[in-house]
Amino acid sequence: MSDFHTPVPTAQKPISDRRDSQVMLSRVANSLYWMSRYIERSENVARLLDVNLQLMLDFADLNDQQLKEHWLPILCSAGDEETFFKLYERADSESVTEFLTFREENPNSIISCLFAARENARQVRDQISLEMFETLNECYLFLKSKNAREVWQSGAHEFYEQIKRYSHLFQGLTGSTFTRNEGYEFINLGKFLERADKTTRILDIKYHILLPSVADVGGAVDAAQWQAILRSASALEAYRRFHVEDILPRKVAEFLIFSTTFPRSIRSCMEHLDNDLHRLSGREKREYKSAEERAFGKLLSDLNFLTIDDILSEGLHEFLQKIQTTLDRLDDHIYQEYMYHPPVDIEAEILLHQQQMQQQQ
């Protein structure tokens, strides 16, 4: 990988040194990828919690059962409900937001994600810019301080806005100060894979919410929830530029899935992923090697040709689950292809090296 730690030519390197260099490059790729994923994840969780807390202000008279029906799908979307109920008895505004913000027992909480992002950045400190590391370190120190809890308790909105600002600053600095090499591709892969996954989960949340009654469908609660879906993806203003009429469920789903211009739509994220994967592999566009890549390519092709009516007839929830499964498999493939370095049989390597030397004599 060019512009990472430049290795000595293989013919001049001892086997153990060559293996260490390969492991090192794999670890650099892994750290950059997960640094980026964790930052993107923390921003998405912050936005989701902020939007839903504000939504609760509009419906302050909900009873315990209704509160559970609102917050439980948010836990389910992240797959954290089992861990949550080991720590809390009931799902309400306070318990869910604390769990998804400050509990280190939850690997998907904001604090866990940003601590992990900072640790990954520390491991590749010499690969990223000073400004990138300083931003993450400043965020880390803020979350470690008592002031973070005080800000959250006095006004959760300001706290979540601060988390989003750290993410936006980091991503802007990455675009402005990071060299365009393989490392940049891994950062992009982490960001866009995480973003696509979270957009599917944000959209899928609405299909898990049990409304108090069928009469609420199309009513004030339903309309507010669909608006919250757009705000959770920072898509409300962009949506209104295309659709000046009321917020319609079909149009919301269509926009968050198919938009080619909105950077958080599923299609837009997957096109970025496709470009970065081809740049890393060096293969031609639309050329896929592994089964995971072919499944991803087929799904991207579907997004180019399907309509929202096709998806709704198939089942929106089922289609979103298919995207999540495909992205999970692609994540595994990226790890196996670029980050996993299997144990090496040193004795076999030495024997092979000796045989090669004898053949050259």
For tokens 């013919």, the residue is: 11
Q: What angle do CA 245, 249, 255 make, to 5 degrees?
A: 75
Report the pLDDT value the prediction gives residue 5, as an integer from 0 to 100.
40
Distance CA 172, CA 361 (A): 55
Q: Around 278, how many Cα atoms within 13 Å sit in the side-chain half-sphere?
A: 15
Cβ burial of 228 (10 Å; 0-12, 13-18, 19+) is buried
Report the pLDDT value the prediction gives residue 65, as an integer from 0 to 100.
62
List, in order, residues 6 or more apart from 320 with CB less than 8 Å away: 200, 201, 203, 204
Helices and strands of the chain, counted as H and E runs: 17, 0
What element of type H or E holds 113? Answer: helix 110-123
Give first-to-last CA distance, the chain, whole Å: 31
The model's pTM: 0.85
The DSSP call for residue 61 is: T
Helices of type H across 124-181:
130-144, 146-154, 156-177
Residuewise pLDDT in 10s, the chain (361 residues): 444 443 333 344 444 444 444 555 788 999 999 999 999 999 999 999 999 888 877 666 666 566 666 788 888 887 888 999 999 998 888 899 999 999 999 999 999 999 999 999 999 999 999 999 999 999 999 999 988 999 998 889 999 999 999 999 999 999 999 999 999 999 999 999 999 999 999 998 876 553 343 344 445 566 778 888 999 999 999 999 988 778 888 899 999 999 999 999 999 999 999 999 999 988 888 889 899 999 999 999 999 999 999 999 989 999 999 999 999 999 999 999 998 766 545 565 556 556 666 666 5
Report the pLDDT value the prediction gives residue 61, as an integer from 0 to 100.
64
Q: What is the DSSP string of 265-324?
A: SHHHHHHHHHHHHHHHH-PPTT---SHHHHHHHHHHHHHHH--HHHHHHH-HHHHHHHHH
Report the pLDDT value the prediction gives residue 207, as an integer from 0 to 100.
66
> What is the C-alpha R_g of the chain?
23
Distance CA 254, CA 265 (A): 9
Q: Are 338 and 26 in contact (CB under 8 A)?
A: yes
Distance CA 170, CA 174 (A): 6
